Amino acid sequence: MISIQEKHLLQAPSGLLQIPRLPQSSSTRGYAAYPSDLTFPIRFSLIIPTFNERDNIERMVARLSHLLDEVMPNDYELLVVDDNSPDLTWEYAQDLADQYPNLLVMRRQHERGLSTAVIRGWQAARGEIIGVIDADLQHPPEVLLKLLEKIEDGADLAVASRHVEGGGVSSWSATRRFLSRGAQLLGLMILPRVLSSVSDPMSGYFLVKRKAIAGVPLNPVGYKILLEVIGRGNIQEIAEVGYVFQEREVGESKVTWRQYKDYLHHLARLRIDSGRLGRWGRHLNFPVGRFIRFAFVGLSGLLVDMGLLYFFYDVLSFGLTRSAILAGELAIVNNFLWNDRWTFKDLAQRQSTRQQVLKRFLKFNIICLMGLILKILLLNMFFNGIHLNAYLANFLAIAIVTAWNFWINLKLNWRVTQVS
Ligand code: GDD
Ligand code: MN
């Protein structure tokens, strides 16, 4: 028997951010409003990502339900994906679900962020067409019908755009316009293939065919889920529909400087993954992006080591060996902290008890020590064996040891053992 609390509440998927080719059965989706036999695909699933949208959600659901009941009664679902809003948006949405049988709610408590909210919603969705719309009524629901039409006419992706005929923004400040256009221009320079394929790559209002994005590991950062869909999906045909971005009546935008930082990070990640190096890495199952971060950390360690060696040896006049050991160990601490909090952050977060961190730090030290021995051996082999120039020999030795260090740490130290 489904209890009232669980009714209409979908389990939040975890693990890989990847959309299944076929909809998940309701048993894996957790408790849902419809009987367990209704697990077959439906035509359309619309994700409504929410954070503190309590005062908007009812009007939004009412307008969407009214619109879609007309054109596809019982062949659509609305999924509110809420990140545990302090204003209890998820609870308000759950209460609405009795009145709107096609409404489902996902309350995420262990993951946050707009892009992953949308993907987790799509993972739990049943629709052959999946989409996303803002919950604050700034995206006019009526545009949905035109977007659906474009998909039915054969488009893989239909984007609501502010920058085509019929598009615009109600009243954005000059700063917001400048920032939005500036971000778009920057994107065109870093990732021209993706950013040039639509007139409004910043849009968060679009529909996509499930099969165009299913089975592809996604790895978004921040707000711009459309970049991820175009950058990693199998998108052949794109259609655009003009719309006017409305003034928000209640609540406020969650866009902060962090979203702009995330946007740059997202562009860089897509750039690496979609480039030759990224394709080579995927082919060999080698995480290129992570290795680049590891190498940057190694570079920072080199600078820390050299700087501290100067401080201990020249400023404090410690002996050379004592200075080198102190500087070397502090550089290892520097590298461990950066790797734990940046390079392997997603893996470290899943094993974050104090003992686990300490264990990782000790293993990291041992691996670095073994790396140092390997480096000395390689340096001698290159210098005395094949008579390379000392600095070239040292550089080659460092490069090989960095790759070795990375692979051992990834496989032995930060790897998350999937406890079944
Ligand atoms: N689940 C979840 N988690 N939802 C979120 C989060 C989050 O961390 N942050 C924002 N949202 C929801 C908001 O509740 C709203 O429904 C929608 O995402 C858009 O957030 P806003 O804060 O209103 O964004 P905006 O008004 O500045 O709009 C800009 O970003 C949107 C999202 O990319 C514009 O670029 C829009 O075109 C774009 O759709
Ligand atoms: Mn908004």
Taking only the tens place, the pLDDT of each residue in 99-138 is 999 999 999 999 999 999 999 999 999 999 999 999 999 9
pLDDT of the residue at 25: 60
* Exposure string over 382-403, b if 16+ CB within 10 A, otherwise e: bbeeeebeeeebbebbbeebbe
- pLDDT at residue 29 greater than cutoff 70: no
Predicted local distance difference test score (pLDDT) of residue 34? 43
Ion ligand 2: protein residues whose beta carbon lies under 5 Å: 136, 138, 253
Q: What's the whole-model pTM score?
A: 0.76
Ligand 1 midpoint to CA 248 (Å): 11
Task: For residue range 72-82, list pLDDT tens digits in order.
Answer: 998 999 999 99
Q: Over range 354-383, report the average pLDDT.
A: 91
Residue type for position 119? I
Ligand nearest to the CA of 167: 1
Q: How far is the C-alpha of 170 from the C-alpha of 247, rounded, in Å?
A: 6
Which among 284, 141, 123 has a CA at the least distance from the CA of 210? 123
CA distance 290 to 295: 9
Ligand nearest to the CA of residue 202, numbered in listed order: 1
| Ligand 1 midpoint to CA 254 (Å) | 6
Specify the pLDDT at position 6.
60
Q: Which among 23-32, 374-383, 409-418 has the top mean pLDDT?
A: 374-383
Give percent of the chain with pLDDT exceeding 90. Answer: 54
Of 332 and 319, the one with more pLDDT: 332
Question: Taking all residues of the chain, what is their mean pLDDT, rounded to a whole number?
Answer: 88
Out of 61, 172, 176, 255, mutate this one to test ligand 1's pocket (max ligand atoms within 8 Å of CB): namely 255
Whether ligand 1 lies within 6 angstroms of the CB of 383 is answered as no
Output the residue whose Cα is nearest ligand 1's atom 17.
134
Ligand closest to 226 (CA) is 1
Indicate if the pLDDT at residue 51 is higher than 90: yes
* Centroid of ligand 2 to alpha carbon of 248 (angstroms): 6
Q: Please give the pLDDT value at position 335.
A: 95
Tell me the range of 162-166, 266-270, 414-418 where mean pLDDT is highest: 162-166
Helical (H) or strand (E) element with 354: helix 354-380
**pLDDT bracket for residue 205 (50, 70, 90):** very high
381 pLDDT above the threshold of 50: yes
pLDDT at residue 280 tops 50: yes
Nearest atom of ligand 1 to the alpha carbon of 82: 1
